[in-house]
Amino acid sequence: MTPRYENLIDGQDCPPAQGAYLDTENPWTARAWAQIPRSTPEDVERAVAAAARAFGSAAWSGISATRRAALMRKLGDLVEANAPELALAETRDNGKTYTEMLRQMQNTAEWYRYFGGLCDKIEGRVIPVEAPGHLNYTLREPLGVIAMIVPWNSPVRLLAWKLAPALAAGNTCVIKPSEHASTSILTFARLVREAGFPDGVVNVVCGLGAEIGPALTDHPEVAKIAFTGGVGSGTAVYVAAARRMRPATLELGGKSPNIVFADADLDAAAMGVAGGIFASGGQSCVAGSRLLVADTIHDAFVERLTAIASRIRLGDPMDAATHVGPVANRPQFEQIMRMIAMAREDGATLACGGDSFTGPEGGLFVRPTICTGVSADMRIAQQEVFGPVLAVLRFSTEEEAVALANSTRFGLGAGIWTGDVGRAHRMAARVRSGTVWVNTYRMTSQSSPFGGYDLSGVGREGGQAMIDGYLQTKSVWVNT
């Protein structure tokens, strides 16, 4: 019997109003392993109403900050204690390795603890205005119902980036997970109940983005939208937010460069570049999908990379020896293969990979692929693949490296590999990107801001200041 999951609305497991369900496929077996609700706007309405009631009754924002902090810490502890179950649901839904998902869950727990620690540190200010006989001060208030829309690649983790600061600030929420990977968030929702959060504070509605996304983003009771996903749906979400004049944070895609200078530690750089693009099969927003490499070391460096790529073990994501699991879903697989064909059409050469195969249980795999001879105007240098495909471009001067790094409309992450500390700082300042890593890649933390320039998004997630994004500031004047 295929397990069936239900929405969480007002603290209850809620079957969808129309009684319809969607199959959720395990990419390793290419077979349905669970069913999730195919919700309709009616379900969204119920969820938003529950969140609005919980907000209006101050069931969450009205309890003491110390108690809110304690519940948040408890939620963090439950995420950690249930990491194996959460990781298993995620591996079954998106095919990423269980080892990686388990590590992610352990880090995700920290987000609830970190932002829980800020609950009792939300303060207004008394402002020394030049207005004799008047007192002016600020009050910090939660916004209300936050809509949170999450993609399939790391659902529980990407949700925490929104939910932890939003809850700490006293908001309530309606979460819409991806139709390709909802079960880990529904499993997480059970932990929210177990931790003792009041009913209606956290609600989850599953279904197709096109069918229920607009009902959520256009809802008059939604005070803010926090979105992670692709540029296309992100644009639709941003337009909906603008129509109702409400804020939105958008964490979108990338075409992040790893920039390798000849004076770098080339062993470390090669491992960093390979990990940057091939880990998780490139299905990561910060995948380092462009390599910008100094002319003088180009051939030798590409050779090192192809050697590493040939050692990457593709296979069962539950096997601890596997480095990379299957591609998460068929549309994603087709997109990757289309982009490889496009790279060839545009004149790139494949140093390795380019082919795909079907695993023993039916899952779809793409071998780590390195495209050389790429120029900045090629589609493979401009468009996000979200797969294990590296585009290699060469440069001869630092100036040229900066120009190439900034030659796409994205700006999410960038890696700089050099032994020259002055150059590292110069480059960090000049590359247009929300995060720059020097001689490392992919580091993130709950206490550090993350987000993008240009098409990579609007706003930041992570870090103390992020709680401000979930608060209103009210200025109060008193005639004394």
Distances (CA, A) of 375 to 167, 270, 382: 45, 21, 10
Among residues 273, 341, 281, 349, the alpha carbon closest in space to that of 308 is found at 273
Give 174's strand partners. 147, 203
Phi/psi for 444 (5° steps) reads -140, 165
Give the alpha-carbon dihedral of 314, 317, 319, 322, to 10 degrees.
30
Ranges within 230-269 binding ligand NAD (CB under 6 A): 230, 233, 236-237, 251-254
217 touching ligand NAD, by CB under 6 A: yes
One residue of 43, 100, 316, 384 binding ligand NAD per CB under 6 A:
384
**From 90, 179, 251, 461, the catalytic residue:** 251
Ranges within 285-324 binding ligand NAD (CB under 6 A): 285
Residues 6+ apart with CB under 8 A from 275: 441, 442
Stretch that binds ligand NAD, among 133-141, 152-160, 425-433, 463-471 (CB under 6 A): 152-160
Among residues 444, 452, 448, 443, the alpha carbon closest in space to that of 464 is found at 448
25 touching ligand NAD, by CB under 6 A: no
Q: How far is the CB of 449 from ligand NAD (least distance, A)?
A: 12
Would you call 194 a catalytic residue per the annotation?
no
Q: How far is the CB of 375 from ligand NAD (least distance, A)?
A: 23
327 touching ligand NAD, by CB under 6 A: no
Among residues 404, 312, 296, 293, the alpha carbon closest in space to that of 352 is found at 312
Ranges within 398-417 binding ligand NAD (CB under 6 A): 412
Q: Which is nearer to ligand NAD, 315 or 387 (CB)?
A: 387
* Amino acid at position 368, single letter: P
Tokens 């000849």 appear where? 262
Q: How far is the CB of 415 from ligand NAD (least distance, A)?
A: 16
Stretch that binds ligand NAD, among 7-15, 189-197, 223-231, 396-404 (CB under 6 A): 223-231
176 touching ligand NAD, by CB under 6 A: yes
Among residues 59, 104, 390, the alpha carbon closest in space to that of 257 is found at 390
Tell me the catalytic residues: 251
Residues at the site binding ligand NAD, with contacts judged by CB under 6 A: 149-153, 158, 176-179, 209-210, 213-214, 217, 228-230, 233, 236-237, 251-254, 285, 384, 386, 412, 452, 457
